[in-house]
């Protein structure tokens, strides 16, 4: 018990540091613009409206971060139980593709799929959709106009399948690859805004008995691969 308490304390310190760091920026903005309204610095109606919009936007960002933190904490502590139902991976991936098709077209990206039929797993379809939606969201965000995003579903060795989401972005430097699934990780100027999405995705995949990995090189895009056990 003493060992578990020590481990919990060790995990809590960086968690609190992460939270403090992430919430400091929006809180500073909210405080600054609220003070501008109170002391009359934001005198005309347009300036007041702009200040109010910043406060509203930053408040929403804080709420989103807090919600993600709570979700990650509940998953890691086992408070969220994954459903156990048969999931047709081809249908799920095609559904995710359809959701992001318009966004990809607006950015001038080609969204391609190569998914083998009859790939089935047992798991939580909503949580798995969350994983692949996060990966597609990041892939589209980091791919330049005229680029390509691929979704590949294939049978792997043994009783496992692999689902890869591949982008055509700037890639991730080798020294940063081990950290992309960490809370609030931001890889310098190469890939930013990762926040908690990949950390949550990793926990969901682990809860399904699988794993998630990333392969990348500067200038060559990135490939995120999810490996899941199949139904015999």
SS3 label, residue 72? helix
For the chain, list the strands marked E by DSSP: 85-88, 110-115, 120-123, 148-155, 160-166, 211-216, 222-229
pLDDT digits (tens, 9 = 90+) for 124-162: 999 999 999 999 999 999 999 999 999 999 888 778 999
Q: What is the pLDDT of residue 219?
A: 87
Distance CA 54, CA 48 (A): 10
Question: What pTM was estimated for this model as a whole?
Answer: 0.74
Within 10 Å of residue 82's Cβ, how many Cβ atoms?
16
Q: Please answer whether residues 127 and 203 qualify as being in contact, where contact means their C-beta atoms are separated by less than 8 angstroms.
A: no
- Estimate to the nearest angstrom the gap between the alpha carbon of 89 and the chain centroid: 19
Distance CA 25, CA 8 (A): 27
171: left (phi over 0), alpha (psi -120 to 50) or beta: left
Within 10 Å of residue 22's Cβ, how many Cβ atoms?
20
Positions in the chain short of pLDDT 50: 4-5, 7-8, 188-194
């Amino acid at each position: 018990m003493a060992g578990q308490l020590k481990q919990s304390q060790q995990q809590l310190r960086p968690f609190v540091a992460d939270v403090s760091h992430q919430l400091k920026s929006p809180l500073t903005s909210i405080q600054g613009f609220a003070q501008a309204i109170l002391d009359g610095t934001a005198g005309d109606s347009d300036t007041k409206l702009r200040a109010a919009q910043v406060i509203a936007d930053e408040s929403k960002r804080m709420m989103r971060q807090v919600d993600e933190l709570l979700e990650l904490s509940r998953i890691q502590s086992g408070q969220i139980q994954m459903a156990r139902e048969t999931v047709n991976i081809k249908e799920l991936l095609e559904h995710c593709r359809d959701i992001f098709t318009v966004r990809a077209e607006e950015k001038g990206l080609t969204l391609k799929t190569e998914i083998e039929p009859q790939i089935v797993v047992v798991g939580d379809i909503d949580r798995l959709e969350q994983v692949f939606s996060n990966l597609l969201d990041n892939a589209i965000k980091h791919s330049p106009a005229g680029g390509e995003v691929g979704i590949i579903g294939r049978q792997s060795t043994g009783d496992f399948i692999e689902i890869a989401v591949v982008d055509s972005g700037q890639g991730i430097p080798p020294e940063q690859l081990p950290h992309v699934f960490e809370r609030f990780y931001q890889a310098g100027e190469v890939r930013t805004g990762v926040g908690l999405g990949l950390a949550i995705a990793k926990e969901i995949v682990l809860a399904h008995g699988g794993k998630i990995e990333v392969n990348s090189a500067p200038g060559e895009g990135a490939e995120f691969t999810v490996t899941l056990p199949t139904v015999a």
